[in-house]
Structure 1
């Protein structure tokens, strides 16, 4: 694969009367980066120690996974999706409650945001970077019952195991909604709910436009990846399974 570096030259016009500088042109050229280019030994030597230190930090074992944890092992929910949503709930809720006095009702993040499985064996900070390589951070969104209804309809229609926590959805054999519970209580369309999600979804990512109807948004300044690392640090064994939080009855 060939990469490119683009060099841009700015031309600025300045008169002798010290008038404000004015941009009069931009030129640039594209320089391909291929295997024919060689690194400069002095620079490679300089950065080598930094690279070694970063690798040591990323690869230090934080926990252990007895089995592979993946988003591909369930139709309506998955072991990895459940783990991720539960991590967000466990790590974000105390922060949100301390700042607002309120609690998160449920979590929704997107299936596509999980970019790697968690392999059986040692779990490290690098594991978190592989699963969640983006700088997505946790947002807590206040939604009306009407908007939450749209959220539920979206999950039912998507036929995708989007990670959820605190939410229990049951479909009948014809894929029609049978029941919805939030924190163990039936969904109430007349109340508001606090939903933890990512800043990406808050903007309507993955067609989750219902988040654009947010009544109030709280940024708790917490990266999802950092929540994962904190969770791995706290728990020496990482386990997760497909369960009944979103199921279809036969």
Structure 2
């Protein structure tokens, strides 16, 4: 009887133990997607109303562009000036309401502009194509030394980064002179407020001067929505061709 109880206990223990499995081999096969592959009609029919609604929203004409806005230009481009100007214009009232201060400068990046705004009717789709990223507007408070650093960065980069509120001249020896903020000489020991994207505010595109900021205000306003809202507010796009950077 003693042996029977021991055997019964041992058997019960084995039967209650969960088996343990381990993956020893994984196999896969690449299946290419081609035009010959057609989705199931049930799925297509389910998606179609949503796709049609999105297409209708994106294709609605919001304004008119009197010219092609593109990225051509040595130190500034018409699309860059346009985007910097409207980002400044749309961001400033929000920043002023929250802080009782005003934005001085807008700086974006040339590489962030992904395509042109063609002459003719413009739509929300144009805004998504120009600015496909989920970047939002951020205002950084920068000491005057970093404003000079911004100008030197642009000269060294040799790229027409979108700029508003800041003008300067590139001297023959490649140094910066005649630097003005809102038409006035740079003031020492003053904080200037620069609106940019959250990506750049964190040092993206080697804009490390933003990491030296003394304050930061996230506006919770996507750059793409700034473009769309501007389109909705005007009948015809206004392109300010004021020279921001000159070279001797």
TM-score normalised to structure 1 length: 0.85
Supply the distance in 2 between the matched residues of 1:199 and 1:242 (Cα, whole angstroms). Answer: 26
User: How much has 1:141 moved relative to structure 2?
Assistant: 0.5
State how far apart, in whole Å, the 1-side matches of 2:29 and 2:164 are. 47
Work out the CA distance in 2 between the residues paired with 1:191 and 1:121: 43
Look up the match of 1:152. Answer: 151
2:221 paired residue number: 222
> Pairwise CA RMSD of aligned residues?
2.0
- Give the C-alpha shift of residue 55 in structure 1: 0.7
Residue number in structure 1 paired with 2:13:
none
Q: How does 1:1-250 map to 2 (within 5 A)?
A: 32-35=31-34, 37-72=37-72, 74-240=73-239, 242-249=241-248
How far apart, in 1, do the equivalents of 2:193 and 2:27 lie? Answer: 49
Which secondary structure does the structure 1 equivalent of 2:217 belong to? strand
Question: Hey, what's the Cα distance between the residues in 1 that align with 2:23 and 2:165?
Answer: 56
State the 1:87 CA deviation.
0.6
Q: Deviations over 1:59-78 (max 9, x none)?
A: 10000111111121x21111
More helix by share: 2
Distance 1:95 1:32, change over 3 A: farther
State how far apart, in whole Å, the 1-side matches of 2:205 and 2:198 are: 12
In proportion to residue count, which structure has more strand?
1
* Count of paired positions: 227
Superposed displacement of residue 32, structure 1:
3.6
Between stretches 32-41 and 231-240, larger displacement belongs to: 32-41
- In structure 2, relative to structure 1, the CA distance for the partners of 1:212 and 1:53 (3 Å cut) is same
TM-score (norm: length of structure 2):
0.85
Contact 1:87 1:231 in 2 (8 A): yes
d(CA) in 2 for partners of 1:189, 1:88? 26
Q: Tell me if structure 1 keeps the 8 A contact 2:62–2:121.
A: yes
Name structure 1 gaps, 5 residues minimum: 1-15, 18-23
CA gap of 1:28–1:89, structure 2 versus 1, over 3 A, is: farther
Contact 1:78-1:241 at 8 Å conserved across structures? no
Structure number with greater Rg is: 2
- The Cα shift of 1:145 comes to 1.7
- In the TM superposition, what whole-angstrom CA distance separates every residue of 1:165-187 from its partner, at most 9, and x where no partner exists? 11111122343212110011101
What are structure 2's unaligned runs of at least 5 residues?
A: 1-15
For residue 33 of structure 1, report the CA deviation from its aligned partner. Answer: 4.4
Structure 1 runs (4+) deviating above 4 angstroms are 24-31
